[in-house]
Amino acid sequence: MESETQAGPAGAALPLPPMKWDAWGDPALAKELSADVKALLAAALGVTGDAAPGPGADEVLLHPSRLTAEDLKALAAVVGEAHVSAADADRLPRAGGKSTPDLLRRRSREPQDAPDAVVLPGSEDEITALLALCAERRIAVVPFGGGTSVVGGLDPERGGLAAVVSLDLRRFDALLDLDETSGEAVLGAGLTGPAAEALLAERGFELGHYPQSFRFATIGGFAATRSSGQDSAGYGRFDEMVRGLRVVTPAGVLDLGRAPASAAGPDLRELFLGSEGTLGIITAVRVRIHPVPAAKAYEAWSFPDFATGTAALRAVEQQGTGPTVIRLSDEAETMVNLAMTEKIGGEPAVTGCLAVTVFEGTPEQVAARHELTRTALLAAGGTSLGEAPARAWEHGRFNAPYLRDSLLSAGALCETLETATDWRRLSDLRFAVTAALTEALPGALVLCHISHVYPTGASLYFTVVAALGSDPLTQWAGAKRAACDAIAAQGATITHHHAVGADHRPWMTDEVGELGVRILRAVKAELDPAGILNPGKLIP
């Protein structure tokens, strides 16, 4: 597990996010490209060289802070001197998220945008006072959780206001309650995935939310983006785990969700799940938890092609046989061993399409779920590959993002995008998005997998690798636009779990309609009349 305070740019006054400012994750875990990956890059993309190195943290140029000394004094009067900083070293690591465009922007030698200051409130009262102060002084507020957004959710947009601050929730890091009888816990919004799981594990419980960004993303971020983890088949998406929320808005504090189910009108929790910091600051989340599983089983499968594998996953989900993890790589992803991080680019370990299943629960539950799932997968044309490839997937499941950094440094652009639709339209969607990406990026490798399944449909997750052009930001923007247009044309969702942020905002009207947008704007006008909360995100 990564340490919580890693070295970042020198001169920081505040605790830094536990991630490198210009790359993914813990620098100690960064990896050189293997000889196999280098060979794949050369053969598939003609990429053989190194891209020019980016600037060091002390060489990066930020636009100067627009806050006055008086503004900073007023902010400090709310949160204390020790919890405000306008130092570049504190602004730079909160200048954006961790999409490939974010990393390219961080590596630029041009002057960059960054929040004008960073504030670390320690209580809801302080957040209330901060929001009032920012409304009065026309300062935008970008809530900052783990900083892992991949959709521009953390862009330091001022939205026509005088300045913008990053409101870092790291001090909301307590396990506030654990109700063993009901199987619920109240978690501070700033707890990272590992910190939350460690606190729950001390009492024998687990949340079971493991997105690939698990090591750095936070409870508040999961709620604000409707995140989905790799164990979603077993434990559900994060929004399905949420039983209640506390939210501080400029108009007041909300404490939502008071019973396991309710018929008291529309469910207002849903307004804040996925609100991406535009409607309020989530300070605590009450979640469903379960005992740490006593048993676990693994089995990998091969399917002759993606269509057969897709039908098999559908059968498993519609029969409800109960795997905790079930995922299927397409032929291209299987061929490059993407699901087994240590083997990427080597000799293909599996032919056809690889599927991974994992089962958790009591020994009896695991045995029963495993057997039912095996029967369904065998009947659907699967061939068992035993445990090893499934264990290899689990072993490397949080490590693939490190590869993206090394690829960028080697001159290859690597980015992901995702969507979802019903089973009937899944195959057409995959072809349409793949075609859009390959047309926009000739010669690119486009890989795809299914990792979240529902009785009525599934998500598709695409990984794209292409040779870096001379203007990679424009290069990727064109490809992303083409893929998003293809998704919209297919009637699929613009995002299954990465959220909307700034990047998907142009497709929100298509997703929810003009009236839907007007409803969102009306809610925002009621809660945030000064428009200070995360301008330029989510709501067109």
Determine if 115 is a binding residue for ligand FAD (CB under 6 A).
Answer: no
Confirm or reject binding of residue 188 to ligand FAD (CB under 6 A).
no
**Residue placing its CB nearer to ligand FAD in the complex, 307 or 512:** 512
Q: Which part of the chain contacts ligand FAD (CB under 6 A), choosing from 37-45, 146-154, 194-202, 480-488? A: 146-154
Helices (H) and strands (E) in the chain, counts: 18, 19
The contact pattern for ligand FAD, residues 498-517, with x = CB under 6 A and - = no contact, is: xx-x----------------
Which of 93, 96, 221, 535 lies at the binding interface for ligand FAD (CB under 6 A)?
221
Q: Where are the alpha helices (DSSP H) in 380-422?
A: 388-395, 400-410
Please tell me whether residue 150 binds ligand FAD under the rule CB under 6 A: yes
E strands, 263-394, where?
281-288, 290-291, 295-303, 325-329, 353-361, 383-386
Shortest approach of ligand FAD to residue 404 CB, angstroms?
A: 7
Please report, as residue ranges, which positions from 383 to 412 form the binding site for ligand FAD (by CB under 6 A). 401
Token pair 């957004």 is at which residue? 149
- For the bound state, the minimum distance from the C-beta of residue 101 to ligand FAD, rounded and expressed in Å, comes to 12
- Measured from the Cβ of residue 107, the count of other Cβ atoms closer than 10 Å reads 19
- Of residues 375 and 399, the one with the C-beta less far from ligand FAD: 399
Identify the residue whose tokens are 């007023």: 74
Residue from 188, 211, 345, 361 touching ligand FAD (CB under 6 A): that is 211
Instruction: Report which of 454, 475, 340 is spatially closest to residue 37, judged by C-alpha positions.
Output: 340
Distance of alpha carbon 90 from alpha carbon 12, whole angstroms: 5
Pick the closest to residue 2 from 220, 175, 216, 229 (CA basis): 216
Does 98 bind ligand FAD (CB under 6 A)? Our answer is yes
* Cβ at position 8, least distance to ligand FAD in Å: 16
Q: Would you count residue 231 as binding ligand FAD (CB under 6 A)?
A: no
352 lies in the site for ligand FAD, by CB under 6 A: no
Q: With respect to ligand FAD, which residue has the nearer C-beta, 27 or 304?
A: 27
Euclidean distance between CA atoms 185 and 191, whole angstroms = 13
415 contacts 403 by C-beta, under 8 angstroms: no
Query: Does 359 interact with ligand FAD (rule: CB under 6 A)?
Result: no
C-alpha to C-alpha distance for 121 and 144, rounded to whole angstroms: 11
Among 19, 103, 119, 224, binds ligand FAD (CB under 6 A): 224
Of 327, 326, 260, 324, which Cα lies nearest the Cα of 293?
Answer: 324
Instruction: Using CB under 6 A, pick the residue from 101, 115, 143, 457 that binds ligand FAD.
Output: 143
Choosing from 54, 96, 97, 121, the residue that interacts with ligand FAD (CB under 6 A) is 97
CA 193 to each of CA 12, 167, 200, 341, 494: distance values in angstroms, whole numbers, following the listed order: 24, 19, 11, 21, 25
* 217 interacts with ligand FAD by CB under 6 A: yes
What minimum distance in Å lies between the beta carbon of 153 and ligand FAD?
A: 3
Least distance in Å: CB of 420 to ligand FAD? 12
Tokens of residue 376, six digits: 């369904």
Closest CA to 82 of 143, 13, 35: 13
Contact status: 141 vs ligand FAD (CB under 6 A): no
Residue selected from 186, 281, 407, 408 as contacting ligand FAD according to rule CB under 6 A: 281
Q: Determine which residue in the list 277, 322, 457, 472 makes contact with ligand FAD, applying CB under 6 A.
A: 277
Measured in residues, the chain has a length of 540
Q: 65, 112, 148, 409: which one contacts ligand FAD (CB under 6 A)?
A: 148
Binding mask 13-32 for ligand FAD (x = CB under 6 A): -----------x--------
Amino acid found at 443: G
Beta carbon of residue 44, minimum distance to ligand FAD (angstroms, whole number): 22
228 touching ligand FAD, by CB under 6 A = yes
Tell me how far, at minimum, the Cβ of 168 lies from ligand FAD, in Å. 9
Residue 78 C-beta: closest distance to ligand FAD, Å: 18
Which two tokens mark 139?
């300062």
Burial class (CB in 10 A: 0-12, 13-18, 19+), 204: exposed
Among residues 449, 468, 348, 461, the alpha carbon closest in space to that of 407 is found at 468
The span from the CA of 79 to the CA of 361, in Å, is 44
Contact with ligand FAD (CB under 6 A): which of 14, 154, 448, 527? 154
Q: Which of 314, 343, 340 is nearest to 329 (CA)?
A: 340
Residue 282 or 376: the one with the smaller Cβ distance to ligand FAD is: 282
CB of residue 228 to ligand FAD, shortest distance in Å: 5
Among 189, 199, 429, 494, binds ligand FAD (CB under 6 A): 189
Cα 352 to Cα 301: distance, rounded to the nearest angstrom: 10
Of positions 119, 142, 336, 340, contacts ligand FAD by CB under 6 A: 142
490 near ligand FAD, rule: CB under 6 A: no
- 279 closest CA partner among 536, 540, 501, 531: 531
Query: In this chain, which of 212, 310, 419, 421 binds ligand FAD, going by CB under 6 A?
Result: 212
Phi, psi dihedrals of residue 452, rounded to the nearest 5° = -135, 120
Structure tokens at 429: 């969607």
Ramachandran category for residue 367: left, alpha or beta (phi over 0 → left; psi -120 to 50 → alpha): alpha
Stretch in the footprint of ligand FAD (CB under 6 A) among 37-45, 140-148, 349-357, 361-369 = 140-148
Instruction: Work out whether 325 is an interface residue with ligand FAD (CB under 6 A).
Output: no
Task: Find out whether 139 and 163 touch, Cβ atoms under 8 Å.
Answer: yes
Q: How many residues bind ligand FAD (CB under 6 A)?
A: 39
Strands 325-329 and 353-361: antiparallel
C-alpha distance from residue 469 to each of 43, 98, 172, 376, 476 (Å): 17, 20, 42, 46, 9
| 234 lies in the binding site for ligand FAD (CB under 6 A) | no
Footprint on this chain of ligand FAD (rule: CB under 6 A): 24, 97-98, 142-150, 153-154, 169, 189, 211-213, 217-218, 220-222, 224-225, 227-228, 276-277, 281-282, 401, 497-499, 501, 534, 537
